[in-house]
Structure 1
Amino acid sequence: MLRYTLMRLGIFVGCLVVVWGLVHFGVFPRGLGESNGMWIILLALVVSAPISFVALRKERDRASEQIVHKMDRVKAGFEASRSQEDGADDAARAQGHTS
């Protein structure tokens, strides 16, 4: 997951540098007044999102599989704990009814 996040951040930073250069040289328009920095960041986000979606497909699938695997282990742990609690509860009830 960390690898995917770092790769995504790298694509964003690359797009940020390219967009800044294009705005600086007048290929893209500047933002209004003091909003130029925000304009560059937003434009870089819009450009980097589809690039990340396509370029990082395999890495995103790998990260998703890791998350699913971890969630399955957590669910199995909860189920095991619940089964132990149910068994202890059933044993306590059986002892209470036989006294």
Structure 2
Amino acid sequence: MLRYTLMRLGIFAGCLVVVWGLVYAGVFPRGLGDSNGMWILLLSLLISAPISYVVLRKERDRASVQVVSRVDRMKAGLEANRGQEDLADDSARAQGQTS
């Protein structure tokens, strides 16, 4: 998961540098008034999103498998705890009835 995040940030950083260069070269417009920095960030985000979607498909699938396995382990742990609580509750009730 960390690998995917770092790769995604790397693609965004690359797009940010390219867009910044193109804005200052005059290829892209500079934005309105003082919005130049926000314009560069938004344009970089807009360009990096589809690139990340296509380029990082395999890495995203690997990360999703890891997330699913973690969720399954957590569900199994919760279910095991629930079963132990039920047994403890049943034994406590049984002891209460025999006293």
Specify the alignment match of 2:78 in structure 1. 78
Give me the TM-score of the superposition, normalised by structure 2: 0.96
Alignment gaps of 5+ in structure 1 = none
Matches within 5 A, 1:27-38: 27-38=27-38
How far apart, CA to CA, are the structure 2 residues paired with 1:19 and 1:82?
A: 54
After TM superposition, give the deviation of residue 93 of structure 1 in Å: 1.0
**Equivalent residue number for residue 50 of structure 1:** 50
Q: 1:38: how far off?
A: 0.7
Q: Which runs of 4+ in 1 moved over 3 A?
A: none
RMSD: 0.8
**Distance apart, 1:98 and its partner CA:** 2.5
In the alignment, the residues of structure 2 paired with residue 37 and residue 21 of structure 1 have an alpha-carbon distance, to the nearest angstrom, of: 12
CA distance in 1, matches of 2:88, 2:37: 62
**What is the TM-score normalised by the length of structure 1?**
0.96
Structure 2 unaligned residues grouped into runs of 5+: none
Deviation of the 1:96 alpha carbon? 1.6
Secondary structure of the corresponding residue to residue 34 of structure 1: coil
Report the number of matched residues.
99
Distance in 1, Cα, partners of 2:24 & 2:72 = 49
